[in-house]
Amino acid sequence: MCGINGILAFHYAANPVDRSELIRTRDHMAPRGPDGAEAWFSEDGRVALGHRRLSIIDLSDTGTQPMASSDGRLVVTFNGEIYNFRALRADLEAKGHVFVSQSDTEVLLHLYASRGEAMVHDLRGMFAFAIWDNTRQVLFLARDPYGIKPLYYADDGWTFRFASQVKALLAGGAISGDPDPAGQVGFYLWGSVPEPFTTCEAIRALPAGCTLTVDRIGAREPRRYHSIAAVYGEADARAPALARRDANDVHAELRDALADSVRHHLVADVPVGAFLSAGIDSGALVGLMRSVGQQSIQTVTLAFEEFRGRPEDESLLAAGVARAFETQHTTRVVTQAEFEADLPRILDAMDQPTIDGINTWFVAKAARELGLKVAISGLGGDELFGGYPSFRDIPRWVNLLAVPSRVPGFGRVARRLAHPLVSAVGFSPKVPGLLEYGGTYAGAYLVRRGLFMPWELRQLLDPDVVHRGLRRLAPLARVEAELPPASASAHAKVASLESSLYMRNQLLRDTDWASMAHSLEVRVPLVDNALLQTVATARAAAPALVSKELLAESPNVPLPAAIRERAKTGFTTPIGRWIRDARLGAAARRERGLLENAHWSRQWAERLAAI
């Protein structure tokens, strides 16, 4: 896990690369890679690549990046892990390729030399990388299918720049920080900035599952090589042919796929620990770590003084799971005083505004205090196994409101009439939104996951910003684009949306910035394309057989009944109380009237947007 950056002066009249800019951008990402800092500059001064290293695989100097091929044709800078690199290496060696390191980085060079841009289809892992092809005079960038690892870029028509962080690109000093209305509006709608937009108009995110090439003409449009919606759609299309599969065979296949993903995610030359809550996802993964042969497992759980003796306190149940799987377990207590002391660092590390990530900040901090460089997280289990209420609520809303929504103007009129009544009785402001948006999957999802509703934005932002932002963002069309074919099941539709929007733009991004701020790599075995294909196919054929219960039973020693039967909480923090106790501009909120007595997430969003 690392921080990467680069500059390509592609236009013939562009100035050569400013070496100091490359170094400023690279070193802004120092926490992402405290183990080394290197740079590569082309002889003609038109190309430069930077790298900050967190050594996980091949700890020797032969793993140093940027890494050049033996013939000097290719140079790569890479952030992430390729979990199947050993199998890929063996195949390449059989074809005559000669390796000089034990790193997964070198595999990328040889694989590109062998397969070109099609190489991305062979990779299993989390990655964002750039390869300079000196022969073709092309810069090739790629990002993993789920978007676990970030990659941002800016193109001013003369020079192309990229990095692992938005703030790192700005730190280079050559890119404007002018705000993007789409990013501003997107943050208020979702609580995070939806890709490909960022908070800066000049900077874009390379979308997940996409590649990008830059040549002498400039940056081409990103090309998608993977779609989560397509995986679910194809699985549903095959369902009739698989409907008679034996339940035992399905269970065995899923257990094998889960164990296989965990086994791949344990590939490292340093110890791999785990975040452990009282939930099924993290507990099952710890059990699977033991099942696939991990001998020593360090686990860490967060606890909060405010939760002592309450259902939100996960520490006792988590400790029971740790005992069941014989881990070296630590319970780390976090206080409000520590939150307030860390808040400046949290806001500085937060690459783009987000209402989440505080939990990951503290559990990553705790893991690093234990000396860990790598930790396993249960993130992704709810998206994969349908654990969110949205899997129940959204299809129900769509079925109930589909017919009324087809009446022109009905939803908007009904919402406007209902809004005063709903506000008077203290219901959520989202309730009227159901009348306007709830008849389609895209609209219902906007209501279910929305932080503020579109009609509220003018009370938060300048009306012109709202107008331009909504026009550029096109939120309903953006949600619609992540849906599988209309023939797909309700589960497939919600799973596609949760994975491609909420998980990608919020959970994965928050995990990245919050963990890398502590120089910790977080791996997510339940966010794995090979596993996704197996689970999607099994669920399309036999929906009743694919559940969190199966995940709980997947280790050789199943999770205790107390964990399987417990209501979901996940890693939680008393942040609502902490934020309400802080001074967050109460007078301004009263003037607006929108945030007085609002849910803490809305108050937190207003605090973040003002920074």
DSSP 531-551: HHHHHHHHHHH-GGG-SHHHH
* 178-192, 244-258, 366-380: the lowest-pLDDT one: 244-258
Mention every residue, 6+ apart, whose C-beta is less than 8 A from residue 597: none
Strands (E), 9-119: 36-41, 47-53, 67-68, 74-82
pLDDT band at 313, cuts 50/70/90? confident
Which stretch, 309-323, 364-378, 390-404, has highest mean pLDDT?
364-378
pLDDT digits (tens, 9 = 90+) for 530-539: 999 999 999 9
Distances (CA, A) of 520 to 34, 214, 271: 10, 31, 12
Q: Which pLDDT value is given to residue 591?
A: 42
- Interval 32-49 mean pLDDT: 97
Tokens of 471: 């026009």
pLDDT digits (tens, 9 = 90+) for 73-107: 999 999 999 999 999 999 999 999 999 999 999 99
Pinpoint the alpha helices (H) of 295-440: 315-324, 336-349, 358-369, 381-385, 390-405, 410-425, 430-437
Q: Which pLDDT value is given to residue 248?
A: 84
Q: Which pLDDT value is given to residue 584?
A: 47
pLDDT digits (tens, 9 = 90+) for 123-142: 999 999 999 999 999 999 99
What radius of gyration do the chain's Cα atoms show? 24
- Interval 26-37 mean pLDDT: 97
Is the predicted pLDDT of residue 335 greater than 80, yes or no?
yes
Q: Which pLDDT value is given to residue 238?
A: 86
> What is the share, in percent, of the chain residues with pLDDT greater than 90?
76
Give the span between the Cα atoms of 7 and 162, in whole angstroms.
7
Q: Which pLDDT value is given to residue 426?
A: 56
Report pTM: 0.94
The helix/strand/coil state of 64 is: coil
Tokens of 468: 């331009």
DSSP 458: G
| Number of Cα atoms under 13 Å in the Cβ half of residue 162 | 29
Is the predicted pLDDT of residue 195 greater than 90, yes or no?
yes
Looking up tokens 């860390």, which residue turns up? Answer: 342
Is the predicted pLDDT of residue 599 greater than 60, yes or no?
yes
b/e code 89-98 from CB counts within 10 Å (16+ = b)? bebbeeeebe
Between residues 419 and 527, which one has the greater pLDDT?
527
7, with CB counted inside 10 A (0-12, 13-18, 19+), is buried
Q: Which pLDDT value is given to residue 585?
A: 46
Q: Which pLDDT value is given to residue 564?
A: 82
Is the predicted pLDDT of residue 570 greater than 60, yes or no?
no
Mention every residue, 6+ apart, whose C-beta is less than 8 A from residue 9: 15, 16, 17, 45, 46, 47, 158, 159
pLDDT band at 569, cuts 50/70/90? low
Give the chain's mean pLDDT.
91
**Centroid of chain to Cα 419:** 34
Is the predicted pLDDT of residue 351 greater than 60, yes or no?
yes
pLDDT band at 595, cuts 50/70/90? low
Looking up tokens 């309700």, which residue turns up? Answer: 490
Strands (E), 30-82: 36-41, 47-53, 67-68, 74-82
pLDDT band at 379, cuts 50/70/90? very high
Tokens of 422: 């709903």
Q: Which pLDDT value is given to residue 568?
A: 61
Give the span between the Cα atoms of 205 and 214, in whole angstroms.
15
* 208-212, 213-217, 452-456: the lowest-pLDDT one: 452-456
Tokens of 212: 């990008």
Say if residue 196 is preceded by a cis peptide, omega within 30 of 0. yes
Short-list 394, 497, 407, 480, CA closest to 438? 394
